[in-house]
Amino acid sequence: MKILLTNDDGIHAPGLMALRDAFSRKHEVTVVAPDRQRSAIGSSITLFEPLIVRRYEEKGMPHYSVSGTPADAVKLAVRELFGGRPDVVLSGINHGLNSGSNIFYSGTVAAAFEASMFDLPAIAVSGEARADADVRGMARRTLEIVRRILPQAKRGVVYNLNFPARKPRGLLVTRQEMVIYQDSFARRQDPRGRIYYWLHGSPEEKYDGRGAPEGEGLPTDAWALANGYASLTPLHRNLTDSERTHELKALFPGRPTPARDRNGV
Ligand code: MN
């Protein structure tokens, strides 16, 4: 299996190395990742600067460090660097959970979405950020989970996998938690007397325990993780709210007829 491995914590991050080492025993791994920490950058791409790529070998595997974002790294890999198409794109293991509203900011998940835009099977992997986190164990478990997902992986879907810090009680299929976490800012004064603000706090610390499974329904990702399970959520790129389109059609009932030329006339 040919694997493209990326992340948003930078090419030297322990989580990326753990995945690389776990998968390279039996598979062909190519690493293309940002040259530095690029977390919380979402799907940003670089338009007004050139991208510098540095290639080196480590443990017999090609590594490309990219002076851009996770999405840049995936685009470059698929178009220029990888040579052919990977069988799967892995992003992670991120230092910190990517559940609930974190998904919108995550560079880790964004890299997987970028891969899905090329119709490649894409899996984002994140782990709870704790000093005693068992990153090697997460990587081993990811290998098992990817083996099971891949034969039936759907195009355009991102599989969002999250691990608690220590050995999970099991793996649950989940839905995205929709609780909006309360951001908080430290307000301080700099040496020149100016006030500055610094966003702080980790959403996972503030999770209030909602999102439990209802009847036969799925628990949320945040609930599964707070209860010691690993969490697997399928995500898609299309954000259209199909139910609301019916409401809007009542207000704006225009019917689509094709324009005669490309200028719409
Ligand atoms: Mn990160």
Q: What is the pLDDT of residue 92?
A: 97
Q: What is the pLDDT of residue 200?
A: 81
User: What spacing in Å lies between the alpha carbon of 170 and ligand 1's midpoint?
Assistant: 24
- CA distance readout (Å), 212 to 46, 173, 220: 39, 13, 7
pLDDT range class, residue 211, cuts 50, 70, 90? confident
Predicted confidence (pLDDT) at residue 51 exceeds the cutoff of 80: yes
The model carries a pTM of 0.93
Give yes or no for a contact between 179 and 226, defined as CB atoms under 8 angstroms apart: no
* Rounded distance between C-alpha atoms, residue 63 and residue 131, angstroms: 27
SS3 223: helix
Task: Give the pLDDT mean for 10-36.
Answer: 98
User: What spacing in Å lies between the alpha carbon of 106 and ligand 1's midpoint?
Assistant: 7
Mean pLDDT of the chain: 93
User: What spacing in Å lies between the alpha carbon of 101 and ligand 1's midpoint?
Assistant: 14
User: What spacing in Å lies between the alpha carbon of 11 and ligand 1's midpoint?
Assistant: 11
Predicted confidence (pLDDT) at residue 58 exceeds the cutoff of 90: yes
| CB-based contacts of 209, cutoff 8 Å, min separation 6 | 223, 226
Across 28-37, 122-131, 194-203, least confident range: 194-203
Q: Which residues of 184-198 are buried (b: 16+ CB within 10 A; e: fewer)?
A: eeeeeeeeeeeeeee
* Rounded distance between C-alpha atoms, residue 45 and residue 158, angstroms: 19
Paired residues of 184 in beta bridges: 200
Q: Which residues of 37-75 are buried (b: 16+ CB within 10 A; e: fewer)?
A: ebbbbbbeeeeeeebebeeeeeeebbbbbbbbbbbbbbb
Across 1-5, 22-26, 144-148, 207-211, least confident range: 207-211
Instruction: Give the DSSP H/E element, type plus range, for residue 172.
Output: strand 171-173
Q: What is the pLDDT of residues 213-249, one digit of tens each?
A: 877 789 999 999 999 999 999 999 899 998 999 999 9
User: What spacing in Å lies between the alpha carbon of 113 and ligand 1's midpoint?
Assistant: 15
Give the pairing type, strands 184-189 and 195-200: antiparallel
Neighbouring CB atoms inside 10 A of 118's CB total: 16
| Helix, strand, coil in percent for the chain, rounding step 5 | 30, 25, 45
Q: What is the pLDDT of residue 95?
A: 97
